[in-house]
């Protein structure tokens, strides 16, 4: 989403300025073009050499040096968004009052793009009525204020006033300003993670799925503008966008219940979850005691959710399944595509060192109904998710 976007980062004098280094890094990794402008005070807290190196652009802080004048007007016009993080109490007060005594403030006053600020200060300063008034003034100008967090402050005290974390700031920018419209109005259902099948009140049968692939797919769809609902087994990872609706389940049967209820109103469904194929026939009410040398569990098949959706789906719905294979990968994946009546199957092979449960990378091959095979290089799950979404969009466009 941030690819090729122009972000102007303003840094003011605050201990939290060290976090700006991470903001620059995250923006650059996401493909954004970043220019940094600092107040003179900010230079006391973070090195312009570090920021110049990471942003790949010379950091600016003087309105004019010996023989050049920094064109603050063009800087403000160049940017898609101006982010001021951290915003100190002093710079906040100056912005609220139109004071223009450094390059950052001159740039701010000339900026024609949206302005976002991430304040950082001690709790007592944050709570002062003058600060509250100044924040309200900035909001009144139409600027966005990223809420401060609670935690340990530079003073050593604990309280409100910490600048939001770099990841959250970057997510905020992506979500608010750069979500695309490719899938606007489309309803997408994603399943992710493992399912746990209870044996007794303290034990279950599960699998190693981390949910990372499913979460990355949900986020990639959301970034393309879709309304995303995720039905998710027990996983520990977080979803970065608050706009993604999440239903948390434990067992295959529970997952089936929610998926079946949601499916009729969805346009695209991706079954990325590692659903248990078998579940204990009976769940012991009390903890099973270790009396015998051998313990036999009777298991029964769970419902194949993907297959049942394949039988229900209409011509306007697009259904994607995964195939996790350890042998005869292509053959088995193609069989699953037909048997379950999916439109696309994403194969991951556990034979590949870059693929598998818990890893941050994956290597997939996708199969469509027309017999096409799409092979992809090993890459991060985030980039794999983008490939999957791109191919689905391509297939939907071909249908139209
Ligand atoms: N799946 C499902 N319901 C199940 C089992 C699997 O919806 N009870 C879905 C998975 O979410 C995945 C696809 O079916 O999208 C294939 O899962 P996989 O584990 O590769 O294959 P299975 O159908 O379970 O067959 P097998 O384990 O024999 O390979």
Averaged pLDDT, 8-28: 97
Residue 259: what pLDDT?
98
pLDDT at residue 395 is higher than 80: yes
pLDDT tens digits, 105-150: 999 999 999 999 999 999 999 999 999 999 999 999 999 999 999 9
Measured distance CA(351)–CA(353) in Å, rounded: 6
Q: Which atom of ligand 1 is nearest to the CA of 332?
A: 29
Decide: 305 in ligand 1 pocket, CB within 6 A.
yes
Q: Helix or strand or coil: residue 167?
A: helix
**Which one of 193, 257, 324, 356 would you pick to mutate in the ligand 1 pocket, going by the greatest count of ligand atoms within 8 A of its CB?**
324
Q: Which residues are catalytic?
A: 207
Strand ranges (E), 266-357 = 268-271, 278-280, 299-301, 318-325, 344-349
pTM, full prediction: 0.85
Contact at 8 Å (CB) between 88 and 9? no
Is residue 400's pLDDT more than 90? no
Q: What is the per-residue pLDDT across 335-393, written as a single tens digit (0 to 9) for each?
A: 999 999 999 999 987 777 777 777 888 999 999 999 999 999 999 998 999 999 999 99
Q: Give the mean model confidence (pLDDT) for residues 58-82.
A: 81
Which whole number is the average pLDDT over 22-48? 95
Whole-number Å distance between alpha carbons of 150 and 135: 18
Q: Which domains are seen in the chain, by residue range?
A: 6-177 (3.40.50.1950), 187-399 (3.40.50.10300)
The CA-CA-CA angle for residues 69, 72, 74, to 5°, reads 105
Residue 273 alpha carbon, nearest atom of ligand 1: 11
CA distance 195 to 203: 13
What's residue 254's pLDDT? 98
Ligand 1 atom 28: residue of nearest CA:
277
CA of 278 to the centre of ligand 1 (A): 11
């Amino acid at each position: 989403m941030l690819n090729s976007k122009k972000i102007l980062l303003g840094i003011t004098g605050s201990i939290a300025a060290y976090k700006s280094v991470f903001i620059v890094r995250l923006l650059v990794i996401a493909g954004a073009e970043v220019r940094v402008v600092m107040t003179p005070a900010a230079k006391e807290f973070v090195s312009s050499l570090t920021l110049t190196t990471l942003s790949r652009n010379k950091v600016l802080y003087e309105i004019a040096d010996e023989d050049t004048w920094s064109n603050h007007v063009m800087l403000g016009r160049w940017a898609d968004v101006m982010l001021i993080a951290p915003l100190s109490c002093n710079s906040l007060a100056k912005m609220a009052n139109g004071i223009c005594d450094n390059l950052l403030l001159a740039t701010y006053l000339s900026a024609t793009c949206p302005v976002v600020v991430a304040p950082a200060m001690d709790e007592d300063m944050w709570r002062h009525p003058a600060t509250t008034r100044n924040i309200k003034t900035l909001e009144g100008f139409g600027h966005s204020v990223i809420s401060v967090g609670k935690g340990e402050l530079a003073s050593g005290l604990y309280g409100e006033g910490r600048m939001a974390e770099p990841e959250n700031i970057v997510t905020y920018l992506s979500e608010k300003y750069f979500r695309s419209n490719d899938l606007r109005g489309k309803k997408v259902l994603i399943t992710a993670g493992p399912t746990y099948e209870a044996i007794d009140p303290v034990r279950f049968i599960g699998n190693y799925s981390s949910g990372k692939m499913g979460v990355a797919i949900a986020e990639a769809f959301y970034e393309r503008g879709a309304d995303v609902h995720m039905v998710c087994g027990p996983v520990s990872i977080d979803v970065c966008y608050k706009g993604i609706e999440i239903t948390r389940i434990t067992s295959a049967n529970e997952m089936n219940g929610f998926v079946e209820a949601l499916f009729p109103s969805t346009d695209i469904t991706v079954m990325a979850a590692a659903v248990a194929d078998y579940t204990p026939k009976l769940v012991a009410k009390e903890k099973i005691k270790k009396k015998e040398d051998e313990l036999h569990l009777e298991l029964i098949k769970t419902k194949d959710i993907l297959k049942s959706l394949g039988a229900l789906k209409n011509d306007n719905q697009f259904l994607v399944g995964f195939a996790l294979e350890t042998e005869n990968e292509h053959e088995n994946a193609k069989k699953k595509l037909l048997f379950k009546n999916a439109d696309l199957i994403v194969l991951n092979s556990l034979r590949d060192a870059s693929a598998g449960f818990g890893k941050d990378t994956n290597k997939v091959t996708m199969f469509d109904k027309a017999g096409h095979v799409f092979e992809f290089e090993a890459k991060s799950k985030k980039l794999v998710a983008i490939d999957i979404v791109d191919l689905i969009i391509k297939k939907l466009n071909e249908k139209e």
